[in-house]
Structure 1
Amino acid sequence: MTLFDPPAPLAERLRPRTVAEVAGQSHLLGAGKPLTRVLQSGRLGSLILWGPPGVGKTTLARLLAGEVGAHFIALSAVSAGVKDVRDAVAEAEREQARGRRTVLFLDEIHRFNKAQQDALLPHVESGLLTLIGATTENPSFEVNPALRSRARTLVLEALSPEDVLALLRRALSDERGLPGVEAEDSALELLARLAEGDARRALSTLEVAATLANPVTEEAVTEAFGRHLPAMDKNGEDFYNLISALHKSVRASHPDAALYWLARMLQGGADPHYVARRIVRMASEDIGLADPQALRLTIAARDSMEFLGSPEGDLALAQAVVYLALAPKSNSVYVAWKKTVRAVQEGESLPVPLHLRNAPTALMKGQGYGRGYAYYFDDPAGSFEQNYLPDGVQLDLYQPTGEGWEARMTERWRKLMTAHGELAPEAEEQSAEN
């Protein structure tokens, strides 16, 4: 071993040599579980392995190919292209001539575009290639339906802290690991928590910490780990799950949860301007007219973020989500708008009644535009008696709730609907009693 021939990283040295050494994934590898049954049958079909980083997708693919005696080709979709796929096909054909099947492992398969994924289809279909794709992204969105239909999707889970702790202890005792290095139990437990189920990150951090202190201490682990940033894929499913959790926490009036999910997003590197836009949307969708001030506050929070940037502007977003979470809730306008859009999309484009039309010229007035229109301030009763929808159209869209400011407006809404003939007097009386 020389300076120019350094040892492989610890995570690579400790890569499991048998399926029995794989940490976690008992839902796939336990007795009677899917991959156990596959290995017992000896018939390995194409698979999509979906899971977070550092849970053993690559390792599992290699081990599966070895268990069934298949030739193994590994490609990364980050750097590979159609030419690499053609080369793999040619190699598989040579192996097939020798009576041996080929497993093509495609790491980060979601990075392949549609054309590149399509190039795999005929060879997976014919059985020349058994494809094992690995992805951290939801295959429903990132893998072509045609390819998904030819491969079974298996979900790998993040390792538990107990699983990671067992790996760290193995690294200190295994001859391939860090012989001669010791670590405090509290340091290993801290690292097992910080790794968030990522075995590769845990082992890499331990390797660095071992150069800082022996025995490894909590301080060494903290220094080696660096700043802890919450895991989040800025363009993937995790990102939209976090947005969903934030929105639903606000809707459920849970300020602590709303703050937590907001911090997870901002600390994880989400675009704060995008988050601000989503918060403005919440003010209209879930608070609405129960508290019209909510929309103004969220617009102010968005403007503060634009003016201050992050992290100073983060506090304005935090103020906004707490306000929204504590505000009374009404989705009456949201529901009414969805009904309105559907009515417009499904209905005819009927003309505007003549009395509602604009009449800026004498010719238009001569055609009857604006004729008979009752100006509210001159003739309130006549104004209420007029029809404000196209002839033959009847709609029942907006229904106020009993929340906040909107509750105070309900009585006026009832009177207006009655005056317009859209709410029968007896219905008004009954509503008032309720």
Structure 2
Amino acid sequence: MADVVELCAQLVRFDTTNRGHGDSEGEREAAEFVAGVLSEAGIEPKILESAPRRANVLARVPGTDPALPPLLIQGHLDVVPADPVDWSVHPFSGEVRDGFLWGRGTVDMKDFCAMVLSLLSDGLRPRRELVLAFVADEEDRGEWGAHWLAAEHREFFDGCAAAISETGGYTYHAPAADGRTVRLYPVGTAERGTAHMRVTARGRAGHGSRRNDDNAVVHLVDALHRIAAHRWPVHLTPTVEAFLRRAGEALGVSVDLSDVDGTLARLGPAAALVENAVRNSCTPTMLDAGYKVNVIPSVAQAQLDTRVLPGSEEDLFATIDSLLGPHVEREFVAHQPPVQAPVDSPWFEAMAAALRAEDPEAVVVPFCMGGGTDAKAFSPLGINCYGFAPLWVPEGYPYNAMAHGVDERVPVEGLRFGKRVLGHLLSSV
């Protein structure tokens, strides 16, 4: 049997740092390792490079019921940077200490990749065919990974009915109204879309000492103030509404969908799972204007990080245009629409059953990610994408601080729990 902890440690030891904008160590060695594990399990992989060292691994695993449509399992091999100076252990050591496996990528998301590889190494016989994609570049824009595969090798994913990947299926310990601790397991059924925008204000150039009522910098600052001060209205998606109802019932909290902010307050710590998914957001993050202090420039620019809920894009962009005003125009730097999969579906029920097989007291709830994943590449292919990378975590473990954080680590027993849950799902779904 292939130990999931050791497999994860080996993956962590490959430095697959992705600094963005094409600056990457590359995934080649990690991809070769993955391909080797699959080959030893009797599965025929292929490595596809979208650019030198930007490697992706694809494979298919036959199911016991060939009449069923395939399930896509996709995970990324790249990780965000980690400075060893900041860490208690070297971030690429894959060290086991105090019941945890430490290292960059242990939570995001080499743990899930290791679970899949370990199951297949053990001879898993899935009920339906599995399409495997271990990809590059998720930690940037996916252009060398999932989006490239979806565009250039779309035929490989034909027929896939659903997909699983990050983020979801982990333990969230939440206090109930009666003092109990309830174990919620959020499963990702939606993601906010990403719309990174560049906004440009234009005016009349001039001397800094003279009055200028057509100052591009002032036009931009006024527009950004309106954007930052805007209170976005509540927009309830099916996923968020289902989360509020089911989590509220489990925690003994009254849910009033006409007063979402009040409901969030009553949910207590559990509100953190949903608070970023009840509204759209638009955040100014970058500024660029001027070249000399005594010169009023004719152009000033900023960039906005905009996140949009399913079913609300048209209203969001219309609102942004009205807030920017007449002197400012916008353009997309990156635009990836929201993702939404059915909450009430056999897929969701199968994931819930797999979690309850290992934790009978699990309360499984749908969840909308505030950010995004490679699901944005595969969802447009007609694949229902779910966030399901099961993981048991102990109470007090700061799961949300692990991904991209210092001292990223995963519980050893959590990895083994996740592998068992994933085995239940793939054997039955």
Q: TM-score range by the shorter chain?
A: under 0.3
Structure showing greater Rg: 1
Q: Larger % of strand: which?
A: 2
* Structure showing the higher helix proportion among its residues: 1
TM-score computed with the length of structure 1 as normaliser: 0.22
